[in-house]
Every structure is written in structure tokens, then in C-alpha cells.
């Protein structure tokens, strides 16, 4: 049976953000790493930090926050960003 | 009392004896050495510096000496010690003075974690500080040397010390390190600049140090609020050009140039973000020092 991937952040309070216009810098207090995020990536990290969610649910949340449509371009961008986040240990995938 | 008040004989005697208690910015260093080039360099470049009370507390106890090995007879060397430890391999005796300067930089960058420390020059005008972070070879020290000979105050050519409680830059004016072609460039740019003897074949090439302006030394207690973060880059033949750098990009680049950003953890992030937020951030390319000075003269502090 197919199980949707759910993305989760361990201890969302570990992230600290600063924003300047479209730019966002996130400090990860768990690792000491600092990440420069574009607007989509920043909203994605904020969205997944709110609550664990599938990629589809995250697309809806991010689209709502950015005030854009939840189209295939956004889906692709988020899939790619989630892969980057996973490699950086910012998020992890859990089975639903 | 200043170093110049001692005279060469007393300076040498203190260095060979119980040590010279030298005050540089917020630090006191107790320096011992019987190497003549170290004594001469300190006498020339630190002439305006205040002395701390003899045998008073010192942050750093350092020495430059000739290791008592057989090499002392045919390839004499100099070794730097700190609190009785030897953190670096010996260098040829001729490089003793640059080794002293590099050693003092190491003392600060390895221990002064009460500050956010950035590998950057810092200069000041009208109470506003410009932080110039840059990797070696970017022309940072050359630009810094030129600007402090044209009215800017030197806070440091190597180590920006950002105070943790208020984000102000704390001065640590020390001799400006010049390398290779930069030495001749600054001699030509400001013939009255006091530059010590060139030392060749160091790990950095030919090096020499420029004496800081007297005013910068006498005002070493005056902190300054950072107003600009400027990333200099020398490019032969380039016109002076100041381009805005995004604050996020600037923060990442300064973090890369900081000595203890990771060590300070979340506090370091907030300090750095606060500083970047309050500053105008630029990339600056230049190929001519007069043009560079003119471009810096036109800088306006950020709107409050």
C-alpha cells in the first residue's frame, strides 16, 4: 500500500529567522549552521515547522503564505527544496 | 608612559628582563625577547603606545627567543611562546618581528571570546565604523592603510572586535600588515608613512608593517558603532565601484570570515544579524587608491 511521505521538523523552536525583504537567514540551534534561504525555501521551512505534513499539504501552505497558486512549478520547487533540507538534516521524512 | 619614553636601551632591557607590559586596545601583553629585530620593531611601530604598570596583570604572556638547538649556529631561528607553550613551529630568525605580530593576532583570535571576532579591517569616521571583511589577497590591508592616511581612524587592520552587549566595534589599533607589492604602493601613496624593514621569503611573501597614526593609538578607548560592511576587492585597472550587497549574503560572508561565530552559537547569530541589520552592505572593487579614498569619502551613514 502506498504511504505518502510526511515531512517533519524535530524541535521547531531550534530555528531562528531574520528576514530582509525577500531574503531570509535561518540559524539552526541544533547544529550551529546558518542557512541563506530564498522566499520559497523560507516559507517552506516555516510551514513544515508548524506541523508535520505531506508535500501536497506543504504546497498548499506555502502557496497560501506566498499568495500564489499551488501549481506544478511550486510542487517541483518544494520537492527539490525538501530534498535539500533532508540532506542538511533540517527536516526528516516519516511514514504516515 | 609610552614606549617612546623608555628609549631604546630601557626598552631592550625590559624586553630582555621582566618583560614589556604593552597596552593595545583592551589588552595588555607582557612581551619578552632578546632578539634585536623585535626590540627595534616595537620601538619603531609601537612608539606611541601606552605602557601598563610593570608587573601588572597581563592578558597575554608572550616571548620571542632563539631556540637553544644546534641550528642556532648555522640557521638561526626564532620561536614564539605563549604562557610557556609554543603554538607554532620556529621560523628563520630574520622573521622574528612578523612572527611577533602574527603571534599577537593569534593570542587575540584564540582567546578573546568576549567579542564576536571577525577577520576584518575596521576604520572609523565621525563615529561610524566601516567593517572590511575579506580573505587574504583581497587588498584589505592596503586599502585600510591608505584610508587611515587620509583621515579615517584605524580600529584594526586584521581583527574586528564586536562587543557583545551593545554591538559596538572595540578598537585594537596595531601596525598594519603589508605584503609584497602593497609595501611599495603605500610608500608611494604616503611617503611619510612609517614602515619597518621588509622581511623576505616568509610564508606570506615579503612583509612589512606600517605604524598606525598617532591619533588612532591615542583614541584606542573610543568605540564606534558599525555603519557599513564593505567587502573590498582589488582588481588591477578597475574603477572604484561600490555595489550594494544583500544583507543575507553579507551575513553569510561575514560569518565565513569570523573567528568565533560558531563558538558563540545563537548569541553570535543574533549579534551578527543585528550588526548586518544596522549596516549598509557593499561590495567594493578598486584598482586605484586615490579613487578608493574618494569613494569612501562619499559614504553616507545609514538612515537611523
| Mean pLDDT by groups of 10 residues along chain B of 304 residues | 97 97 98 98 98 91 88 82 94 97 98 98 98 90 98 97 97 97 97 98 96 98 98 96 97 97 97 98 97 98 89
Question: How many C-alpha atoms does B299 have within 13 Å on its Cβ side?
Answer: 32
User: B205-241: b or e for each residue (b if 16 or more CB lie within 10 Å)?
Assistant: ebbbbbbbbeebbebbeebbbbbbbbbbbbeeeeebe
Residue A3: the pLDDT is 67
Does residue B130 lie within any of the structural domains? Answer: yes
- On the question of pLDDT at A71 being above 90, the answer is no
Residues B107 and B120 in one domain: no
Q: Please judge whether B247 and A29 are an interchain contact, meaning their C-beta atoms are less than 8 angstroms apart.
A: no
Is the pLDDT at A2 greater than 80? The verdict is: no
- Number of structural domains (chain B) is 2
Taking the complete model, does pTM exceed 0.90, yes or no? yes
Both B232 and B219 in a single domain?
yes
Is B212 domain-assigned? Answer: yes
Res A95 pLDDT > 90: no
> Considering the domain boundaries, does residue B70 fall inside one?
yes
**Is B100 in the same domain as B172?**
no
Report how far residue B285's alpha carbon sits from residue A31's, in angstroms, rounded to the nearest whole number. Answer: 35
Ranges of H-type helices in chain B: 3-16, 36-45, 71-74, 96-111, 140-148, 181-189, 214-218, 247-256, 261-278, 289-297
> Does pLDDT of A1 surpass 60?
no
* Beta bridge partner(s), residue A19: A24
- Which DSSP state fits B252? H
B47, B3 contact by CB (below 8 A) = yes
Considering only the beta carbons, identify the residue of B251, B255, B266 that sits closest to A16. B266
Do B129 and B76 lie in a common domain?
no
Residue B181: give the domain boundaries.
116-297
Q: Based on the domain organization, do B203 and B266 belong to the same domain?
A: yes
Average pLDDT of chain A? 93
Are A20 and B248 in contact (CB < 8 Å)? yes
Q: Which pLDDT score, from 0 to 100, does residue B215 have?
A: 98
Residues of B in contact with A20 (CB under 8 A): 246-248, 277
- Residues A36, B252: C-beta atoms closer than 8 Å: yes
b/e code A42-68 from CB counts within 10 Å (16+ = b): bbbbbbbbeebbebebbbebbbeeeee
What's the CA gap between A3 and B5, in Å, rounded?
Answer: 81
DSSP, collapsed to helix, strand or coil, labels residue A86 as helix
Maximal CA-CA distance, chain B: 63
> Looking at the structure, do residues B88 and B130 belong to the same domain, yes or no?
no
B201 and B214, same structural domain?
yes
Query: Both B157 and B209 in a single domain?
Result: yes
Residue B302 lies inside a defined structural domain of this protein:
no
Model pLDDT for residues A15-34, shown as the tens digit of each residue: 999 999 999 999 999 999 99
Same domain, B107 and B174: no
B149 and B293, same domain (yes or no): yes
Q: Could you tell me if B60 and B103 are in contact, meaning their C-beta atoms sit under 8 angstroms apart?
A: no
Q: Does A82 have pLDDT greater than 60?
A: yes
Task: Provide the grid cell at B274.
Answer: 543585528
Indicate if B101 and B154 belong to the same structural domain: no
Same domain, B86 and B218: no
A67: contact with B, CB 8 A cutoff: no
- From the list B130, B139, B218, B137, the residue with the least C-alpha distance to B169 is B130
Task: Confirm or reject contact between A24 and chain B (CB < 8 A).
Answer: yes
The Cα–Cα gap between A62 and A29 comes to 23
Q: What is the pLDDT of residue A4?
A: 80
Residue B190, classed as helix, strand or coil, is coil
Residue B304 domain-assigned (yes or no): no
The Cα–Cα gap between A40 and B129 comes to: 34
Measured CA to CA, the distance from residue B179 to residue B202 in angstroms comes to 10
Nearest to B265 among A18, A25, A32 (CB): A32
Amino acid at each position: 500500500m502506498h504511504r505518502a511521505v510526511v515531512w517533519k521538523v524535530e524541535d521547531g523552536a531550534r530555528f531562528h529567522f531574520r528576514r530582509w525583504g525577500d531574503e531570509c537567514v535561518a540559524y539552526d540551534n541544533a547544529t550551529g549552521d546558518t542557512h541563506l534561504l530564498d522566499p520559497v525555501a523560507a516559507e517552506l521551512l516555516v510551514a513544515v515547522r508548524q506541523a508535520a505534513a505531506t508535500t501536497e499539504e506543504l504546497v498548499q501552505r506555502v502557496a497560501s503564505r506566498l499568495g500564489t497558486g499551488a501549481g506544478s512549478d511550486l510542487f517541483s520547487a518544494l520537492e527539490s527544496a525538501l530534498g535539500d533540507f533532508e540532506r542538511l538534516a533540517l527536516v526528516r521524512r516519516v511514514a504516515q | 608612559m609610552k614606549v617612546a619614553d623608555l628609549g631604546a636601551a630601557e626598552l631592550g632591557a625590559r624586553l630582555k628582563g621582566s618583560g614589556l607590559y604593552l597596552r593595545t586596545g583592551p589588552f595588555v601583553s607582557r612581551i619578552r625577547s632578546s632578539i634585536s629585530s623585535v626590540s627595534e620593531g616595537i620601538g619603531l611601530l609601537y612608539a606611541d603606545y601606552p605602557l601598563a604598570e610593570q608587573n601588572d596583570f597581563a592578558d597575554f604572556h608572550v616571548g620571542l627567543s632563539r631556540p637553544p638547538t644546534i641550528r642556532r649556529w648555522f640557521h638561526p631561528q626564532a620561536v614564539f611562546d605563549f604562557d610557556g607553550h609554543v603554538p607554532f613551529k620556529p621560523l628563520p630568525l630574520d622573521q622574528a618581528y612578523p612572527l611577533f605580530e602574527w603571534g599577537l593576532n593569534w593570542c587575540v583570535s584564540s582567546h578573546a571570546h568576549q567579542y564576536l571576532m571577525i577577520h576584518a579591517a575596521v576604520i572609523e569616521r565621525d563615529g561610524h565604523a566601516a567593517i572590511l571583511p575579506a580573505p587574504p589577497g583581497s587588498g584589505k590591508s592596503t586599502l585600510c592603510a591608505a584610508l587611515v592616511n587620509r583621515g579615517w581612524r584605524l580600529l584594526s587592520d586584521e581583527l574586528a572586535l564586536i562587543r557583545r552587549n551593545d554591538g559596538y566595534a572595540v578598537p585594537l589599533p596595531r601596525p598594519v600588515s603589508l605584503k609584497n607589492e602593497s609595501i611599495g604602493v603605500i610608500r608611494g601613496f604616503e611617503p611619510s608613512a612609517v614602515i619597518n624593514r621588509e622581511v623576505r621569503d616568509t610564508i606570506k611573501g615579503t612583509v612589512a608593517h606600517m605604524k598606525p597614526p598617532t591619533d588612532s593609538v591615542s583614541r584606542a578607548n573610543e568605540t564606534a558603532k558599525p555603519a557599513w560592511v564593505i567587502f573590498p576587492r582589488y582588481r588591477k585597472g578597475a574603477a572604484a565601484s561600490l555595489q550594494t550587497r544583500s544583507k543575507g549574503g553579507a551575513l553569510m560572508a561575514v560569518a565565513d570570515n569570523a573567528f568565533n561565530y560558531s563558538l558563540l552559537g545563537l548569541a553570535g547569530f543574533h549579534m551578527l544579524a543585528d550588526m548586518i541589520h544596522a549596516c549598509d552592505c557593499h561590495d567594493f572593487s578598486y584598482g586605484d587608491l586615490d579613487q578608493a579614498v574618494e569613494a569612501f569619502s562619499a559614504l553616507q551613514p545609514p538612515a537611523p
